[in-house]
Chain A
Amino acid sequence: DVVMTQTPVSLSVSLGGQTSISCRSSQSLVHSDGNTYLYWYLQKPGQSPQLLIYKVSNRFSGVPDRFSGSGSGTDFTLKISRVEPEDLGVYYCYQGTHYPLTFGSGTKLEIK
Chain B
Amino acid sequence: EVQLVESGGGLVQPGRSLKLSCAASGFTFSNYYMAWVRQAPKKGLEWVATISTSGSRTYYPDSVKGRFTISRDNAKSSLYLQMNSLKSEDTATYYCARSGPELPGYNYSPNWFAYWGQGTLVTVSS
Contacts and interface: CB of A to CB of B under 8 A. Distances in A.
B110 to A, nearest CB: 8
Given A92-B44, A100-B47, A103-B44, A33 B116 contact: no
B106 to A, nearest CB: 7
B109 A49 contact: no
Contact of A33 (B44, B95, B107, B113): B107
Interface residues of B, number: 24
B45 A31 contact: no
Given A48-B95, A48-B116, A48-B119, A96 B44 contact: no
A33 B47 contact: no
Contacts of B111: 37, 96-97, 101
Contacts of B75: none
State which size class the interface on A falls in.
Answer: 20 to 34
Q: Which secondary structure dominates where chain B touches chain A?
A: loop
Contact of B116 (A39, A50, A104): A50
A33 B112 contact: no
A97 B62 contact: no
Contacts of B109: 31, 33, 35, 37, 96-97
